[in-house]
Amino acid sequence: MSRIALVTGGVSGIGAATAKLLQKSGYRVVANFFGNDVEAAAFAAETSIPTRSWDVADFAASQAGVAAVVQDFGPIDILVNNAGITRDSTLHKMTPEQWRSVIDVDLGGCFNMCRAVIEGMRERRFGRIVNISSVNALSGQFGQTNYAAAKAGVIGFTKALALEGASRNITVNALAPGYTDTGMVKAVPETVLQGILEGIPISRLATPEEIARGVLFLVADEAGFITGTTLSINGGKYMA
Ligand code: CAA
């Protein structure tokens, strides 16, 4: 029986590319989404990957969402915490809401989703968790104190949970994408993006598929000795 993978934010951008690549590679995939119903319907029709809607920033909704997935498809072997948002602003203009919403989704979502799957993984003594961080967690980024804090938090969270999971054959890794050709990056003002592109040695955005390949690598049964690491895929923009 093939392993079951749950991808949050799984109907667009890096999440959709990941869900499709995992499906193509023989995994049974469920894609979570929230707020983008039209995109989710199109994704489900195109891929026949089942989709389920809940807000990963909501603890109770995440518990219920995971329970429903387990009931409908079986225990979750692989969790890809990809759901994330930006609310870019310099700190001197940032509202508490811009701060909180990014922390709640990008970092809180990781806690809520891992908390919902971890007991089952511990019982079954198998798990693969990949938390999507960002190059900007490592380098910092003008206008992203909220996002850089959340995504750097994801890396610390990953390392701590990797220690806890190690004795149960649960690996936990972070993946730090660089600037990728998704809606999130397209929302960056053109002039700002031009400057960013000039700082990428490979001189282009990543494709979502190039990031998904990293996830596929980390979730393999054969990747059982890789844990607590952060895999950078950033075109050379930042070399940690
Ligand atoms: N470095 C240094 N100074 C900069 C700068 C930079 N990168 N960008 C702007 N400035 C300067 C301007 O020249 C201006 O200077 P003066 O005050 O001396 O004139 C000043 O900062 C403007 O400051 P403001 O607070 O007025 O900024 P703003 O409101 O015009 O815009 C911003 C700020 C919205 C954050 C804008 O800079 C922006 O959109 N930046 C992009 C942030 C970014 O890269 N986001 C990534 C999104 S994708 C993603 O996050 C995915 C991933 O993981 C990679």
pLDDT in tens, 39-54: 999 999 999 999 999 9
Q: How far is Cα 110 from Cα 124, in angstroms, rounded to an integer?
A: 21
Give the pLDDT score at 219.
98
What atom of ligand 1 comes closest to residue 178's alpha carbon?
A: 54
Q: Where are the domains of the chain?
A: 4-233
Please provide the average confidence, as pLDDT, over all residues in the chain. Answer: 98
SS3 232: strand
Angle at 135 between CA 89 and CA 238, to 5 degrees: 120
Give the pLDDT score at 222.
98
Helix (H) or strand (E) holding 176: strand 170-177
Give the pLDDT score at 121.
98
Class level of CATH domain 4-233: alpha beta
Beta bridge partners of 128: 78, 171
pLDDT in tens, 114-143: 999 999 999 999 999 999 999 999 999 999
Give the pLDDT score at 240.
81
pLDDT(83) > 80? yes
What atom of ligand 1 comes closest to residue 86's alpha carbon?
A: 50
* Ligand 1 mean position, distance from CA 90 (Å): 7
Q: Which residues are catalytic?
A: 147
* Ligand 1 mean position, distance from CA 147 (Å): 13
